[in-house]
Amino acid sequence: MCSKAACANQLVEAETGKHVWGEHYDRELADIFALQDEITEAVTIAIAPAIADAEQHRALRRPPGRLDAWTAYQRGLWHVSKRTAEDNALAEKFFQQAVDLDRNFAGGYGGLAIVEDQALEFRRRDLFDTLSSSEALARRAVALGGGDAEARSLLSAALWRRGDYEGALAEAERALATTPNLAAAHHMLAATLIFSGRPKEGIAALERAIRLDPREPRAEYRLNEMALGLYFCRDYPAAVEAAKQAIRSYPDFAHPYRWLAAALGQLGRIDEAKEALDKAIASAPAAFDMYVRGRVPWMRVEDYFHMLEGLRKAGWEG
């Protein structure tokens, strides 16, 4: 009786015949269920970004006057992924168009929730008004989506931002119960765990989110959360390396400089810490003020003062 199983898999785009993914597996028969899980995860990693990219490029080819709700939504996703204030405003326009074309389209409301979430980084709106609006839009998306996992991930994000860790964790877990390989849900599980005092568990969830979707448009936030999660664990040398990795990948993204400064301050590497602190302030002074001069709702009091301790050792005198 054969004790091994061989399995060859490939995915081909039907429209063009383009080869998207292929892999060959040789495993013991006893590992057949693990093999199924491995194939499922590999397919998710390979094709989810490709499908999303293809959908958005199809939407971009459509004339503005001939957009249906789905196409307007895809255009919104394309703009929101650019992560600039101007593109965020354009994304809002297209998501609102999707809602106007179909009042029962959950994706449009979810897209508007993403816009509200990103608006926090551009400081274009009041913090608490933005948080309330984002939660209301995410709840609308969940109600219309029939428990859609992506909508639940958005609601998890909105609840986390408000400091409702229990609610955020519940929504992330509901999303993963129906879609176990959804990177966004693993990311929200990670963020909630990291900021609610369980950073080691959060880092493990974050590593899975990164592995499932290494091309995610908001990847800079995940790398930053890796650095701050390690900082919360008081593993300052690892936090320094994680922050530097985030900076190498996204040199214009301000947040990792703050955690680099704090971690270097804790290690007594003051000259390096002061340099990182100066960059954190100069590159995004409004964001620095929001996160440092006041405590954002999603950060625990003890974590906030832990951050301030490192920044003061780095030379911050606020």
Q: Which CATH architecture has domain 62-146?
A: Alpha Horseshoe (1.25)
Using left for φ > 0, alpha for ψ between -120 and 50, and beta otherwise, residue 234 falls in: left
What percent of the chain lies above the pLDDT cut of 70?
78
Instruction: Tell which residue, 178, 165, 232, has the closest CA to residue 203.
Output: 232
Q: How far is the first Cα of the chain from the last one, in angstroms, to the nearest whole number? A: 73
Has residue 309 got a pLDDT over 70? yes
Q: For 90-134, what is each residue's pLDDT tens digit? A: 999 999 999 999 999 999 999 999 999 888 887 666 888 999 999
Please report the pLDDT score of residue 233 as a whole number.
98
- Is 0.75 topped by the overall pTM? yes
Per-residue pLDDT at 192: 98
Which of 43-57, 139-153, 160-174 is most confident?
Answer: 160-174
Answer for the pair 88, 119: CB distance below 8 angstroms, yes or no.
Answer: yes
Domain with CATH 1.25.40.10 in the chain: 164-217, 218-318
pLDDT above 90 covers what percent of the chain? 66
Decide if 240 contacts 267 (C-beta within 8 A). Answer: yes
- In this structure, the number of other CB atoms found within 10 A of the CB of residue 36 comes to 11
List the CATH code of the domain at 164-217.
1.25.40.10
CA–CA dist 192, 113 (Å, integer) = 18
Q: Compute CA distances 122 → 127, 158, 208, 225, 271, whole Å.
A: 11, 17, 28, 19, 30
Q: What is the pLDDT of residue 183?
A: 92
Rounded CA-CA distance 271/286 in Å is 24
- Whole-number pLDDT of residue 57: 55
For residue 229, give the nearest of 253, 207, 249 by alpha carbon: 207
> What is the pLDDT averaged over residues 31-50?
58
- Architecture in CATH of 218-318: Alpha Horseshoe (1.25)
How far is residue 91 from each of residues 77, 94, 97, 152, measured CA to CA in Å? 7, 5, 10, 20
Confidence at 208, pLDDT banded by 50, 70, 90 = very high
pLDDT surpasses 80 at 1: no
Mean pLDDT of all residues in 141-147: 90
